[in-house]
Amino acid sequence: MAPLSHLLPAVRAVPFVRDLARHGARPAVVTTDGVLSYAELAARVAQIARQLGTRRRLVLVTSANTLDALVAYLGALHGGHPVLLVPGDGPAAGTLTEAYDPDVVIGPTDGEWTLHERRAGTAHDLHPDLALLLSTSGSTGSPKLVRLSHDNLQANAEAIADYLGIRDTDRAMTSLPLHYCYGLSVVHSHLARGAALVLTDRSVADACFWDLFRHARATTFAGVPYTFDLLDRVGFAALELPHLRYVTVAGGRLAPDKVVRYADLGRRNGWDLFVMYGQTEATARMAYLPPDLASSRPEAIGVPVPGGAFRLAPVADQPDDVGELVYAGPNVMLGYAERPADLGSGRTVEELHTGDLARRGPDGLYEIVGRRSRFAKILGLRVDPQQVEALLAAHDVSAACLGADDELLVALAGDADPQRVRRLVGDEVGLPPRAVRVLPVDALPRLATGKVDYPALRTLIAAPPPAAPPGDDLCRLYAEVLDRTDVTPERSFVDLGGDSLSYVEMSVRLEQVLGQLPPNWHTVPIGALPAPRAGLPRHRRTLETSVAVRAIAIVLIVGSHIPLFTLTGGAHLLLGVAGFNFARFQLTDAGRTDRLRQVRAGLARIVLPTMAWIAAMLVVTDQYRLSTLLLAHSLLGPDDGATEWHFWFIEALVYILIGVAALLAVPRIDRLERRHPFALPMTLAGLGLLSRYDVFDLDARHNLPTALVAFWLFALGWAAARADGVRQRLLVTAAAAATVPGFFGQPGREALIVAGFALLIWLPTVPSLGPLNRVASVLAGSSLYIYLTHWQVYPHLRDLPLVALAASLALGIGYAALVNRVGRWFATCRNSPSLRSSTNSSTKR
């Protein structure tokens, strides 16, 4: 028998999605790339609907806070297709694809957004009311889903827009993920009123989030309790947000004292705080606390949303005024789905038993006082501890789990590694490592039936956590080295904007604390790093190869210029290291705009100190010209200058970085790099060989800049960082060994460069000693500035070559310290509330 849904017309759609075009030219979506009107958004949504066709099919959409994801989601709804919305990271997409066999999958493939039709029709019987399927269990990919109807989505969007008073002039930041019902409700309620969405995947702990907030004139953002911890860390109270109208919080209980504090802050600054309560089963929200009651009743969840109602169902062993909170309203789900056959079911739930114990105060406000079940809401994610236990059991780990307001407690029996368990749970459930506390126990307490005695277990692990968890120590270290105040355990060195200069100091300092650096530590979240080791490590010390190469190369450069010895090739080797570090620190998983922002910041850290130094030298010496100051000597000459060529390396590096940034600014090239991270730099290295070998005789006729002639070395360094596996490493090694010889006609110089490449490619670290690590750290971190300044030191001390070397290194190190101090001073000024206030005031005047 054919599924009944084949006989039904695919004409039903959620009204606020169907009517997008009626808002016309009003802004619908704001991103860092520009503004999209409702008319333009409606056209893109309709195009997706046309691609999906008129026959209703189950469409899985991989969610992200991007325009592609938003358009795909709305397009499926517009076409009347039930949407299975899943997070873009973690195992959920694969698990739910296997469990529910969607007809169409929309999401990124190798960095490019694609619509993949798994079949022309549908394999399912899809109920005509079914619009959306959402998970309630984080990113574990649990097959238990909430079935939401078109009426559910519309009713909840209208109710939220009503009690928040959303206007068509509002602009909401997408501060929560779209696959999370709370984040999705922000989208629905604002589209229902013709308001705009400011799309971003940035955290509120990121300064760029607030830059975009101000630039886009955003009026609101949503947060879970953990969001407010981050707001405290970034100094939210001092931020100037002139267009902010209201802030919402849900996804868990915000401590009453914090409710009062933020409500008072909002009152002083002209915005409202809405405390809300909801569950996915109610299409996001069931209650809200009117802002004027937040200070006097901060422990309450408030009153039902418009159209909804509460009752208290009696619960055994509870006081008379406490019962299970039961909700009824048009936003209550159709029911659960646990298998594909359930997608054809109609309504199986009339009212929602929330599992929360509540009481109703004399003022009519409801207050949550406990939970009936073991489900826990942690940092906005609803987590099933029983499912986590099953996950660990599948990995042969004996454990019992309990949920708390802000963390998942895992009692670990046996000899499993707590750090491994912590990472496993965090990765699978979608919680940051800081929210998973693993506590080894001798044995799990059990009842006479053999079941785990959870009350006894809670008593056993009720002792407060250590005053200073290991992650806190590492966060303080990261904050000190990177000079940032927004360091959190779930962010990595690269996430925090670390670059090749700060990497040197961070790697050495971290190696001192941890005893040994994990592979690719710079991309690992701080909370997932091993715990700091007390005292000095006893095992053999190591040094990052790239740090060692930079330190050795700068000593060779200065020593050969004196000359104390003659071992040339260090500068060209540093071009390869620059490409190596470019791939590691600039080509992150961030979006194209963020990547380019990082490249610009890196260029500023090179260009500004260089021009400042050369400008000073123009005043006190006659060695340089304006072309030198503008880093344009290779373009403007003079070709016969005796000293103007001194900064050729910096000039070449700047040109290369500008050229590569321009290339990656092209969306198609950016997608190509993400899809083929090794093939692209190898291809660029091949193109660079055209100028290296002067295939077209251009160098002979036009004296090409060094940036073009030596670019292939930068590209090979880039490829070395991206090489994955023995075959690719061999290919890069062979390319260096084949193309470097003959470039200078100096076998020793060429051998040095090839050897340096081989070390980068094959040895992540080299044996070292603690004192040597500290020296290498300073030299490598100051290498740019040593190169920049040594020209003005050694000529005056040629008769004392060792002194000349020491003085050259010392001046460069001193200039590096000065540059870092000035940079921090500017950062402090830029973030100073008083300075921002005066700047804004003068602008208004």
Q: 597: part of which helix (H) or strand (E)?
A: helix 592-620
Same structural domain for residues 576 and 640? yes
List of long-range contacts for 640-649, beta carbons under 8 Å, 24+ apart: 643/791, 646/791, 647/610, 647/614, 647/788, 648/706, 649/571, 649/574, 649/575, 649/706, 649/787
Inter-residue contact 278 to 393 (CB < 8 Å): no
Of 740, 764, 788, the residue at which a domain comes to its end is 764
Q: Report the pLDDT value the prediction gives residue 467, as an integer from 0 to 100.
A: 41
Q: What are phi and psi of 251, to 5 degrees?
A: 80, 15
- Give the structural domain span for 383: 376-457
Same structural domain for residues 425 and 314? no
Per-residue pLDDT tens over the stretch 102-155? 999 999 887 788 999 999 999 999 999 999 999 875 444 568 899 999 999 999
Of 709, 737, 764, the residue at which a domain comes to its end is 764
Query: Is 466 part of a structural domain of the chain?
Result: no
How far, rounded to the nearest angstrom, does the alpha carbon of residue 493 sit from its chain's CA centroid?
11
Please name the residue that has the structure tokens 């910096």: 650
- Judged by DSSP in three states, 323 sits in strand
Same structural domain for residues 447 and 327? no
Same structural domain for residues 436 and 555? no
Inter-residue contact 501 to 823 (CB < 8 Å): no
Query: Is 13 part of a structural domain of the chain?
Result: yes
The DSSP bridge partners found for residue 401 are: 410
Q: Report the pLDDT value the prediction gives residue 266, as an integer from 0 to 100.
A: 95
Same structural domain for residues 641 and 742? yes
Per-residue pLDDT tens over the stretch 521-551? 777 778 777 766 544 444 567 788 888 999 9
Residues of the chain with confidence (pLDDT) below 70 = 1-11, 89-90, 137-142, 317, 373-375, 379-380, 405, 433-434, 446-451, 461-472, 483-486, 500-501, 515, 519, 531-540, 589-590, 699-702, 824, 826-845
Give the total number of structural domains in the chain: 3
- Judged by DSSP in three states, 220 sits in strand
Same structural domain for residues 61 and 178? yes
Same structural domain for residues 65 and 158? yes
pTM for this structure? Answer: 0.52
For residue 207, give every residue at least 6 positions away whose Cβ sits within 8 Å of its Cβ, in sequence order, or none. 234, 486, 831
Q: Residue 74 maps to which CATH number?
A: 3.40.50.12780
Query: Is 53 part of a structural domain of the chain?
Result: yes
Inter-residue contact 14 to 153 (CB < 8 Å): yes
Dihedral of CA atoms 619, 621, 626, 629 in degrees, nearest 10, equals: -80
The DSSP bridge partners found for residue 146 are: 134, 336
Q: Report the pLDDT value the prediction gives residue 515, as an integer from 0 to 100.
A: 67
Inter-residue contact 444 to 400 (CB < 8 Å): yes
Query: Is 220 part of a structural domain of the chain?
Result: yes
Per-residue pLDDT tens over the stretch 211-248? 999 999 999 999 988 788 889 888 898 899 999 999 99
Query: Is 63 part of a structural domain of the chain?
Result: yes
Same structural domain for residues 434 and 563? no
Query: Is 71 part of a structural domain of the chain?
Result: yes
Six token digits for residue 691: 């100028």
Query: Is 777 part of a structural domain of the chain?
Result: no
Q: Report the pLDDT value the prediction gives residue 380, as an integer from 0 to 100.
A: 67
Same structural domain for residues 213 and 152? yes
Query: Is 498 part of a structural domain of the chain?
Result: no
Q: Report the pLDDT value the prediction gives residue 501, as an integer from 0 to 100.
A: 66
Same structural domain for residues 332 and 238? yes
User: Counting every residue, how long is the chain?
Assistant: 845
How far, rounded to the nearest angstrom, does the alpha carbon of residue 698 sit from its chain's CA centroid?
44
Q: Report the pLDDT value the prediction gives residue 171, as an integer from 0 to 100.
A: 97
Burial 155-169 (b: 16+ CB within 10 A, else e): bbbbbbbebbebeee
Of 457, 492, 517, the residue at which a domain comes to its end is 457
DSSP 276: E
